[in-house]
A = this chain, B = another copy of it.
Amino acid sequence: MDSSSTRRQATRQKLYEAAVTLIAEQGFSATTVDEIAERAGVAKGTVYYNFKSKTELFEELLRHGVGLLTASLQAAADETAERGGTKVEALDAMIRAGLDFIHRYPAFTQLYVAELWRTNRAWQSTLLVVRREAVAVVETVLRDAVAEGELSEEIDIPLTAAALVGMVLVAALDWQAFQSERSLDDVHAALSRLLHGRVSGR
């Protein structure tokens, strides 16, 4: 179950990579299992040897991807804390980490956004769990920041967390799709400015 699973693991990885780009481009239903297999350089039977169904492949892909994202957000927060930075600095580092992630895995992000708010879909419950994990990381830092007096006590933590995540998500996807000539630093600067309230005034 270990020496042998290395090979399986590699096959699964290839399938994830093939599936994520195809589904991001075309959507889940418009993507065929034959396409995924072909792009992964694998026989169709192998897909079904490794995953119970097309839906299950997709659900595991979601778990896999969001796991990477939360890990990288958490790492950014932790590193800032170790360095003795403020909580607002931690938020800033997380924005950066989020942008990095989206830059590295654009297809995954696309697919996540496209599916997140759908109702009545098979993987809805998976998504709910996975979203909570990701948002929780942001909410925790916000809560700490309020506790330490860095942020106003009047902010609404769940709503502000959602707004911040949305800001990063949409700005990054837009950057990707419509303004790809801008640098990551530009995007980061614009978002950082909003976070610090340096938009209004002079």
Contact = CB atoms under 8 A, between A and B. Distances in A.
B156 A189 contact: yes
Interface in A148-191: 149-156, 158-160, 162-171, 173-179, 182, 186-187, 189-191
Contact of A149 (B28, B187, B202): B202
A6 interface: no
Contacts of A200: 88, 150-152, 195-197
B170 A165 contact: yes
A156 B191 CA distance: 10
A184 B66 CA distance: 29
> Main SS of chain A's interface residues?
helix
Contacts of A190: 155-156, 159-160, 163
A50 interface: no
Contact of A199 (B114, B119, B197): B197
A110 interface: yes
A25 interface: yes
Contact of A25 (B28, B120, B149, B170): B120
A30 interface: yes
A171 B166 contact: yes
Contacts of A128: 178
A3 interface: no
A105 interface: no
Instruction: Point out which of A154, A163, A198 has the most chain B C-beta atoms below 10 A from its C-beta.
Output: A163
10 contacts: A27-B27, A27-B29, A155-B190, A158-B179, A159-B182, A159-B190, A160-B199, A162-B171, A166-B174, A196-B197
